[in-house]
Structure 1
C-alpha cells in the first residue's frame, strides 16, 4: 500500500505508523501470544532505550541466537530505533560456525533461547567483546531474562536521528564454501526499491487490509526477514513459526486463515508429503511467493493443486536484500509456458547485465555472470574490503550466478559460476542437468558435480538419492538422462547415496561431494 511506504523512511518508523492508525490491531502472533501494533511500538521503544542504557555506541552489533518469536521483531525494531545493527544467527549451524560469527561480528550483546545456552557457554571465552548475554524465553539463574531487561526502561520514543543509509541488519551468508560473510544492509536496502515498485503499480505482493501472513522463513534468512518487514509495513498480522515443519505450517494456515505465504521449494515438498495436506483447508491463501532455488515443474504443478492461489517467484540474494527479479502470477497460469524456467524480470529500478569473462556485456541468449544495479544492494561485506570491491564494481553487484537474459528481458539463472563444468572446452551447468534429473519419478534428490578427467578436463556425474522403496538402477538413470541431454552434456556416471550433504539453509554442499574426486590435486579445476 503506497501510503504506508510513503510514511516510512526507515524500519524505525514502522510500528509507530500503525500504532497511531490502528493501535489494537494484532501485529504479531507467536505460540498463541498476540502483540498489537501499540504494544510493538511500546516494546521496541523499551528495547531501544535498554540498548542505549547498556552504553553501546551507535552501529554496535546486537546478535540473536535461537528460534524465532515476537522478541526477534522487537529486537529488530529496537535496534533500528537505537541506530544499532541486528544480526540473527542460524541456530542450526555447528558450534564452531556460530562462535566464528559471534567473534567476527564483534557483537556486544547476545540474546539467546535457553536450549542454546550450554553451547554458548563453551565458546564464551573466545568472544571478549561480548558484554552481556540475555535469555529471551523462560528463566535463567545465570543470565538476565529478556522481559525484565526490556521493561526496566522507558516506553517513550527514542530521541535521535535514524538515517536510511545507516546499517540496520547484518545477515551471514550460508557458507557453502569457505567462511560465512557478513552482508551489511541499510534501512534503505529494505524499503527504497519496493517503494518505487509499489508507486509504479507493478505487480509484487498484493497487500490488502486484513492480510495475515505466515512467517515460515526464519529471521536469519534474508527472505524471512524481508517478508516479515514488509508484512509489518503493510499493517498485516504476522504469524511467526518458531521452527518450520510441514505439518505445523498446514495447521497454522488453517487455524489463522493465512492469506500470504512465502516458501522455498523444499518447504513445499515437506508440506506435500504430509498426510494432512489432503484434508487441510488452505482456501484463505491468496498469494504464494517462492524463491531461494528453482521450482521443478512437477513440484510447481503439485503445489498449485494444493494452494489454489496466485503463485509468484522472486530471485535475489542476501547481497540484494532478497528481491531483484520477479515472475508475476500471470506467467504461472500455463504449465507449458517456457518462461516458467526463468526467474522473471528485474524489478522497476533494478538493472541487469550479463557479463563475459572480460567484464563486457553479453547479448541476449548468451550465458555469463549476472550483475545487478539496484538501490537494494548491500553496503559491504563486514570487515572484508577486498571481497566487497570484487562484488561491488562501479555500482554493479556481481552475483556469482551464471545465467542469461532473453529478448524480452526475462532472466534465466543457470548455475553458480563456481559450479561451472568445462568439458572439452564446452560449458556445462550442473543446475540444467539437475532440473532434468529431478523429474525422474524415482529420484528423491539430485546433485551434479564435475570430476577430473585426463582426456576431457572434467566430466559431469550425478549423485542421487532414491525415493523410498525404489529399485531404480544406474542404467535407468543414464537412459533417462540420455533422452534429454545433448551428447556433450551427458553424464559420465551415476552414484547413489542415502542423503546429500546440506548446510543448515538447505543448500547442497558440493565441495563435500567433490572432495573425494579432487583430493590431492593442487587446483579444483582441470
Structure 2
C-alpha cells in the first residue's frame, strides 16, 4: 500500500467565499433545496424557531452595528440561538474568531486571549465574571465586551447584548461594505483560531481558513451524496430533519447540518434528562453523541420514561465506543442507524463518517473516509503499512488547517510537506474503513476533550512538594479516560507522607486542589495521585510515559486505584458538565 484515496468524487469547492457567504448567500450543487418552511435554529428553552431569512437579517444587523472594528474576537459562551449568527456577522466584517470553552478558568481564558491577541470578547451573563477577570489581566477594555443574553444582575447596561446590537444595526443605514475575496484568497484568510492540544505541550491555536470550513462541508455532503433534487428515501440526512445541537463543534452541527437543510435544537448546557425531554418534545431525528452521553443513554433510568422513536440515526465521536455500548444502544433505539466518526481540529474537522451501507457500523470502526481525503499509514520505521497493518495516520485533504499560530516548531512537527501527522495509530482496511488502535501522541481524552499531560505536569511541578511528575490516562466507562498523576515528592514532603496514610492523603488532596483551582473540570486529576520513587526516562531524559501508562492500567484492572465512574456523579448532577456546545473543538 502506498496511499489510500477515499472513494467518491469531490465536487468543486469555492475559494473566493468566506464561510458566511458560502452558508448564507451562495448555492452549491451538493446543497439540497428546501421546499417547505424549515427553521434553521430552535431554541430549546423557549421553542422559538428562527428561519433562514431571519438569520440572514440578524447577521446583517449585528455586522452593521459592530462595523469593521470587531476584527479578532474571542467567543466565550455556551450555546445560544445567536451563537452561529454572531460568527457569520463577524466573518461578514472580515474578522477572525477564536472560540473558547465556556468552562475555562480565568487563567485558561487569559492564556487564549494572550496567545491569539484577541481584542474583543463576546460572552454571556453567567460567564461574565471569569471573562472580566481574564480581560483585565490581558488589558482588554470593558468597552470591547458584549453579551449574548441579559441576566437579572446586568450592570446597568454597561455591556450591550447581541440582540440590542442587532436591532440597532437593522435600524441604522449601512455602516460596512462586505469585501469580495479574490480567487484563492479563502485558502489563506483566517476564519477560526480553534484550540487543540496538538501532539505535545499547552493548547495551540489552529489556523483554520474559510476554505477549510467550506471544503469539509462539501466533503460531508459528497459522502452523503446530497444534491438539489428530491432526496433519496434511503438518505440518512434529509431536509427538514431535526438534530440536537450540543456537541461536535462548529463544522458538523453548526455548518453541515444547516447546509443539509436540517433544524438545530440549540441547547445551552447539556443535561441528560433535558436531552431526553428535548428529543421527545421536538421529535429529534439525529443524535450526535460522545461516549459519556452514549453510556448514559444505555444506563440512565430516565430513558425508559421517554419516547425515542423519532431518532433515526446516532453518530458517536471524540473517542471509540466499546462493542458492549453499541449493542446496548441498538436495544435503546432499535430503529436507528448507529455509527462512529473521526475528526481533528487540525483537519477541520471530519475525516471519517459512519458507513451508509450498514445500519450498525463495523464493530470497532471509526467510520469510512470521506471524499477528498488521501491517507498514508506510516509504520514506526517510516515505511508505509499495507491494508490491515497498524501505523500512524498521516493525511491530506482540502480542509486541513494551515498550522499553529505563532508556533513554528509545533507546525513543523505536525504539518509536513502538505501532510497532517495525526499522532493516532490506526488500521485501514480495503473498504476505506478506519480503526483507531492507540494514540501515538500522548493526549488523554476526557469526555471527548483533549487533555495534554505536559500541561498538567508543568502545573504540578509548580507545587512546592513536587520534584517530578508524569500524568497518564486511566480507563473510565463514562469519561473514556481520567487523568492520573504519578508524582515524585521532594524530601520534606516525602517525610511527611511517611508519617502515615492520613498525612499522605493530605498531600494528595492538596495536589488535586492545586490542579482544580487552575484548570477546567475535565483536566482535573479525577484518576487520582500515585506517589512514585522516580519517573522513568530514557538516557536523553525523555519521559517514558508508556511505562507508567501500562502500570496505571494494570493498577486499574486490579482495582488498586479506587476510581469511581463519572457516570455515577453525572446521573446525580444530570451530567451538567458532561459536554459543551457547538463551539467545542474537541477531536471527534
Distance in 1 (alpha carbons) for counterparts of 2:107 and 2:474: 37
Q: 1:279 aligns with which of 305, 309, 313?
A: 305
SS of equivalent to 1:316: strand
Q: Would you say 1:74 and 2:101 are equivalent positions? A: no
The Cα offsets for residues 181-201 of structure 1, whole Å up to 9 and x where unpaired, read as 111222221232442553465
Q: Deviations over 1:316-371 (max 9, x none)?
A: 1111112102331444548xxxx411213321210111123454322333332111
Change (3 A) 1:352 1:284: same
Q: Which moved more, 1:259-268 or 1:129-138?
A: 129-138
- Partner residue, 1:299: 325
Q: Deviation at 1:413?
A: 1.1
Deviation at 1:293, TM superposition (A): 0.2
Residue in structure 2 matching 1:341, options 345, 364, 369: 364
Indicate the residue corresponding to 2:561 in structure 1. Answer: none
Partner of 1:269: 295
- Conserved? CA contact 1:174–1:505, under 8 Å: no
- Classify 1:515/1:303 alpha carbon distance in 2 versus 1 (closer, same or farther; 3 Å): farther
Q: How many equivalent residue pairs?
A: 448
Q: For 2:391, which of 344, 355, 368 is the aligned residue?
A: 368
Q: Which structure 1 residue ranges, 5 or more long, are not aligned?
A: 421-433, 453-497
Q: Match for 1:136 among 148, 158, 176? A: 148
Cα pair 1:22 1:37 within 8 Å, conserved: no
Equivalent residues in 2 for 1:202-351 (5 A)?
202=225, 206-217=236-247, 222=249, 225-307=251-333, 308-331=335-358, 333=360, 339-351=362-374
Query: Deviation string for 1:186-229 (max 9, x for gaps)?
Result: 22212324425534655997321211111021xxx53x542121
Normalized against structure 2, the TM-score is what? 0.67
Q: Is the 8 A contact 1:49 1:158 kept in 2?
A: no
Alignment partner, residue 116 of structure 1: 127
C-alpha distance in structure 1 between counterparts of 2:441 and 2:527, whole Å? 10
Partner of 1:394: 417
1:49 aligns with 2:64: yes
CA–CA separation in structure 1 for the residues paired with 2:62 and 2:36: 19
Check 1:200–1:121 CA distance in 2 against 1; reply closer, same or farther (3 A cut): closer
Q: 1: CA distance between counterparts of 2:164 and 2:211? A: 32
Q: d(CA) in 2 for partners of 1:15 and 1:399? A: 32
In the TM superposition, what is the alpha-carbon distance from 1:101 to its structure 2 partner? 0.7
Task: Label 1:445 to 1:10 Cα distance change in 2 as closer, same or farther (>3 A).
Answer: closer
Sort the Cα spacing of 1:515 and 1:340 in 2 relative to 1 into closer, same or farther, 3 A: farther
Kept in 2, the 8 Å contact 1:190–1:226? The answer is no
Cα contact 1:23–1:37 (8 A) shared by 2? no
CA contact (8 A) 1:419 1:449 kept: no
Mapping of 1:480-495 within 5 angstroms?
Answer: none
Which residue does 1:171 correspond to in 2?
194
Asked whether 1:12 is paired with 2:20, we answer yes
Q: Aligned in 2, Cα 1:158/1:519: closer, same or farther, shift over 3 Å?
A: same
Comparing 111-120 and 191-200, the one that deviates more: 191-200
Please tell me whether residue 146 in structure 1 is matched to residue 176 in structure 2. Answer: no
| Residue equivalent to 1:34 | 49
Aligned to 2:562: none
Q: Deviations over 1:224-279 (max 9, x none)?
A: 54212112112222111111121111110110011122111111222334322012
Name stretches of at least 5 consecutive residues in structure 2 with no aligned partner.
1-8, 28-32, 227-233, 444-471, 488-511, 548-588
Matched, 1:352 2:363: no
Structure 1 window deviating more from structure 2 (377-386 vs 321-330): it is 321-330
> 1:67 & 1:79 partners in 2: Cα distance?
18
Kept after mapping to 2: 8 A contact 1:65/1:90: yes
Question: 1:172, 1:25 → 2: CA distance?
Answer: 33
2:325 aligned counterpart, secondary structure: helix
1:473 matched residue in structure 2:
none
Rate the CA distance shift 1:448–1:174 in 2: closer, same or farther, 3 A.
Answer: closer
Once the two structures are superposed, residues 440-495 of structure 1 have per-residue CA deviations (whole angstroms, 9 ceiling, x without a partner) of xxx9976698989xxxxxxxxxxxxxxxxxxxxxxxxxxxxxxxxxxxxxxxxxxx
Alignment deviations for residues 83-142 of structure 1 (CA, whole Å, 9 cap, x no partner) = 212222101122211111111111121011112222222232322355601122114323
> For the Cα contact (< 8 Å) 2:207–2:404, is it kept in 1?
yes
Q: Which residue of 2 aligns with 1:488?
A: none
* Aligned residue number for residue 159 of structure 1: 178
The residue aligned with 1:523 is 542
Partners of 2:526 and 2:533 lie apart in 1 by 12
Length-normalised TM-score, structure 1: 0.75
Residue aligning to 1:90: 101
Q: Distance in 1 between matches of 2:441 and 2:528?
A: 14
Shift of 1:408: 4.1
Residue pairs, 1:402-417, within 5 angstroms: 402-417=425-440
